[in-house]
Structure 1
Amino acid sequence: MARARSWAEMKEWMAGLVARSGADVAEWNRRIDAAGITDEPALRAFLDEQGVTGYAQMLLVFERFGYPDFFTRTGEELIDAQYADRTHLRPVYDAVELLALGLAGTHVQARKGYVSFVGPRRTFAAVQPSTRARVDLGLRLDDPPGGRLATAPSVGNAAIRVRVPLGSVEDVDDEVADLVRRAYAENL
C-alpha cells in the first residue's frame, strides 16, 4: 500500500502560499516580524487583510506559534495511533484504502482523527474510527441518507455529507466500492 502523507509533507501543497500570494513562508515570516505581531488573533487579522486564508493562514500561524504534535508525525504514525486501541478495525481501514488508491491520482492524507482520500481535484472520501466497533466511511456525495447511507455530521471535513458505517472487512463490499468510485467521479 502507498505510504500516507503526513501533515509536514503536505505543507507546501496545502498552503499553496507562493501561488496565491507570490511569497514563500520565509518572506511571510519577514513580513510578520516587520509588522510586530505577537499574538495569534492579531496575526490572523493581519493575514486576513492580506488575503491569506485557509490552509495558508494555518501554516503561517503554525510557523509563528509552533506546530501541534500531530503535525510532526508521519502519516503512518497518525493512522497507527487512530487504530491503536481498536486493532480489529485496522483491516477495515486497509480495505477502504486499497479501494481508494485504485482510483487514478488518489493520495492518502492522514490527520489526527481521520484519513482523507484526495483525488486529482479534491477530497472525495474520509475514514474515521468512530467507535470501538465501527469505522465510518464518509463520502462527498449529495445523496440523502437512506439505505446504508447515514448522515455524517462529524466525519472528515464539512464537505463529507453522508457516511457508511463499517464494522468488518465483509462490510466493504461491492456496494461500498461503487459508492467510493461514484464519490471519486463526482469530485473530479
Structure 2
Amino acid sequence: MEKALKTMIENMPEKTGKLLEEWKIILKEKAFKKHSEGVNYLKTTHEVTHGFANTIVTLSKEKDNATRDLLKNQYLGKENLLPIYMALITYIESLGNDVTITPKKGSVSVLRKRQFILIKPATKTRIDLGLKLKEKPTTERLENSGPFGTMCTHRVRISELMDINEELKKWIKEAYEKSI
C-alpha cells in the first residue's frame, strides 16, 4: 500500500470521525450502484471531504471485487453449479443477520461466532457442503466429513437444486444454531 494511502487511512478516524471499516459498513447498507453516489452521500450527509469520501468508496469496493474474483475462479468451468451455490447462500443468509460469508481460494466459509458451514465446488457436477454438527450420527446422505477433515464433522453432496430440500435446510439450521 502506498504511503499516502496508508497515512490517509490512519488519519481517517480523526478527520472523519470513523474508521475505514465503519465507513464500509455504512456504504454497504446503502448499496450505491455508482461510485459518485457514494462519494456525494458521504460529502453531503456526513460532511466528509472529497478526498476522504473518494478513498472510502474506492476501498469499500475492493473487497467486493476480490470476493467476486474468488467466486469466479472457484466456479470457472463449473458455472452450472452457481444456481446451487446461490440457493445455499440465500437460505443461509435468511437464518440471521449475524452470518458472515467468507470466500477463499477454493471454498466459501460461513461463520457465525465460528465456522459452521463450508461450501466447495468439488467437481464439475457437484458441490460438497461441509457442516459442523458434533455428535450427530452419519447417514447415507449426511456423510462423515471426508476431505474437509476437522474443519467440518459432516459432508453432504449436492448435484442439483432439488438436493436443497427440507432435510438439508434442517441440518444447515441446526449447524447455525450450534455455532454460537
TM-score with structure 2 setting the length = 0.60
2:164 to 172, 177, 186: 172
C-alpha separation between the residues in 2 aligned to 1:90 and 1:152? 22
1:95 aligned partner: 87
Alignment identity in percent? Answer: 27
Q: Gaps spanning 5+ residues in structure 1: where?
A: 1-70
2:25 aligned partner: none
Q: Gaps spanning 5+ residues in structure 2: where?
A: 1-62
2:52 aligned partner: none
2:145 aligned partner: 152
AA partner of residue 149 (structure 1): L
Deviations 1:12-47 (A, max 9, x none): xxxxxxxxxxxxxxxxxxxxxxxxxxxxxxxxxxxx
1:105-124 correspondence runs (5 A) = 105-119=98-112, 121-124=113-116
* Segments ≥4 residues shifted beyond 2 Å: none
C-alpha separation between the residues in 2 aligned to 1:77 and 1:158? 27
- Which structure features the higher share of helix residues? 2
User: How big is the shift at 1:96?
Assistant: 0.7
The residue matched to 1:74 in structure 2 has which SS? helix
1:185 aligned partner: 177
User: How big is the shift at 1:147?
Assistant: 2.9
C-alpha separation between the residues in 2 aligned to 1:109 and 1:183? 17
1:1-188 correspondence runs (5 A) = 74-104=66-96, 105-119=98-112, 121-142=113-134, 143-155=136-148, 158-188=150-180
C-alpha separation between the residues in 2 aligned to 1:99 and 1:126? 14
C-alpha separation between the residues in 1 aligned to 2:106 and 2:144? 18
Aligned residues: 116
User: How big is the shift at 1:144?
Assistant: 2.8
User: How big is the shift at 1:150?
Assistant: 1.1
Larger Rg: 2
Q: RMSD of aligned C-alpha atoms?
A: 1.9
The residue matched to 2:139 in structure 1 has which SS? coil
TM-score with structure 1 setting the length = 0.58
C-alpha separation between the residues in 1 aligned to 2:68 and 2:145? 25
